[in-house]
Amino acid sequence: MIDLDRLIARIEQLGQVGALPGGGCKRLALTPEDAAGRALVTGWFRDLGLDVTTDVIGNTWAIRPGPGDLPPVVMGSHIDTVATGGLYDGTLGVLAGLEVIESAIEAGVETDHPLAVAFFTNEEGARFAPDMMGSGVAAGALPLDAMLASRGIDDATVDEALTAIGARGDAPVGALSPAAYLELHIEQGPVLESEGVQIGVVTGVQGISWTEFTVKGRSAHAGTTPMLMRRDAGHVAAAIAMEARAIATDFGPPQVATVGRMSLSPDLVNVVPERATLTVDLRNTDETRLAGAEARLFAFAEAAARDEGCTLTRRSLARFEPVAFDAKLVDDIATAADRLGYSHRRMPSGAGHDAQMFAPFCPSAMIFVPSRDGISHNIEEYTAPEDLERGARLLADVALARAGCRKGPRA
């Protein structure tokens, strides 16, 4: 059923929106580039005669109706990117879902449940925190008013950005109510490729904790101020960063820790920093251990600041507990992979995804396909055509079965 050439052509065409030198693209959420991407994709939705809806935070979905009044089986992901994004992260899940629906239409396949494809606002969290914002609002896990007030890295609010690009729809929160949610995604890691496995059957998503620390000390001359008389905010920030790595090492897999952003002020070579800001991203598949990692990091940061004579404040940018996907739907994906002759392994996701927001409210699961060299959030992100095709075919098999596939008049 899957037209691989059409799928790849759409991936490449969308990749030209916000294209970066050397490959990849930049479509930060609710920017003009995101608006152009939205227009392109919704145009493809309308070309198929699908019913297109956008809600109050900009989530957009398109439905191919079924014969009755049943809730839809939704396939989806996101089309926003990080600042140095690739062509496949998120985009594959949306455009493969569109391909499943178009192929079903061409084959005269009908389903009891409607089929739907969706993209969700600000999945990446690269411009606004938290990530998975749109899907979190849609699923009722994040409060709409607080998300609209979230201020981005450019100081604009989500509310202002929605208005600026005309992305706000009329549908209320919760208007999309899936019978099931399926998301095809590149792995964004090296496991499948390194093991020579074709499909990742995703069992759940590990918990995520994003924290921003701000350290305030006192600027001073770098040459004339003795070390014991300094209130060095930069030193405290560096110590917090080292402790984050130590926590990941001491806790062991699957605990990970990342310092993704760090800034110093006044940012001069010969001045002791008076202010430092850094973010720490902690992740674990076990909620108790994730909470333990947070507790250790927070206690260390407070002690390090106190010992240096600095003050410390912290704020949570995002906090999601680990999520387990629907066991039956996960089994269905594994069974379908066997039927199609695809090698597969069960695995958790180390990254956050829209699917985790729907998991508490409807049967949800994910399919991974390999990423070359494990690279993602990078202009060199790449997944081979044969892997794209396997993922899309598996998505079609599971989605159509869950929707109650039956042949139409042309069968």
Binding residues: 78, 89, 124, 185, 377
CB 117 within 8 Å of CB 94: yes
Q: Is the peptide bond before 266 cis (omega within 30 degrees of 0)?
A: yes
Pairing of strands 275-284, 199-205: unpaired
Residue 48, helix vs strand vs coil: coil
Beta strands 73-77 and 115-119, pairing class: parallel
Binding site residue list for Zn(2+): 78, 89, 124, 185, 377
Are the beta carbons of 338 and 199 closer than 8 angstroms? no
The DSSP bridge pattern shows strands 180-186 and 51-54 to be unpaired
Contact 207/321 with Cβ under 8 angstroms?
Answer: yes
Backbone phi and psi for residue 238, each to the nearest 5 degrees, phi listed first: -65, -40
DSSP characters for 99-168? HHHHHHHHHTEEESSPEEEEE-TTSS-SSSSSSSHHHHHHTTSS-HHHHHT-B-TTS-BHHHHHHHHT--
- On whether the CB atoms of residues 77 and 90 are closer than 8 A, the answer is yes
DSSP secondary structure of 245-282: HHHHHHH-TT-EEEEEEEEEES--TTEE-SEEEEEEEE
Element housing 393 (H / E): helix 385-403
Nearest of 206, 204, 203, 201 to residue 395 by alpha carbon? 201
143 C-beta neighbours (distance < 10 Å), count:
12
Task: Write out the two tokens for 90.
Answer: 């998120």
CA distance 73 to 103: 16
The DSSP symbol for 179 reads: S
